[in-house]
Amino acid sequence: MNQQAGKRHLSFYELLRRVTTNHLRVKNNKYEDVQLRITALTAEYDGGTRTMKQFPKAIAYDFPEPVNF
């Protein structure tokens, strides 16, 4: 009986590890998307196609809403 309980206990931690890993993967992907967009916007401003006054508004607009898990 203790062996069964031990196996269930380990499977719970395995499930917890997988959920945590997936949660971090989702957050990292969203962070990467935001960073790529900021890089693209920075290139537009450095190239002179936009003014620096427009930059803060563009970045604030592109940030996604925080996701709570």
Domain boundaries of the chain, sorted by first residue: 2-62
Q: Who wins on pLDDT, 5 or 30?
A: 30
pLDDT in tens, 10-60: 688 888 888 888 888 888 888 888 888 888 877 776 676 777 677 677 666
Q: Are 64 and 34 in contact (CB under 8 A)?
A: yes
Place of tokens 């925080």: 66
Residue 37 is predicted with a pLDDT of 81
Residue in 63, 42, 68 with CA at minimum distance from that of residue 54: 42
Residue 1 is predicted with a pLDDT of 47
Q: Who wins on pLDDT, 69 or 34?
A: 34
Contacts (Cβ under 8 Å, ≥6 apart) of 63 = 34
Residue 63 is predicted with a pLDDT of 55
Distances (CA, A) of 20 to 10, 12, 62, 63: 15, 12, 26, 23
Grouping H, G, I as helix, E, B as strand and the rest as coil, residue 65 is coil
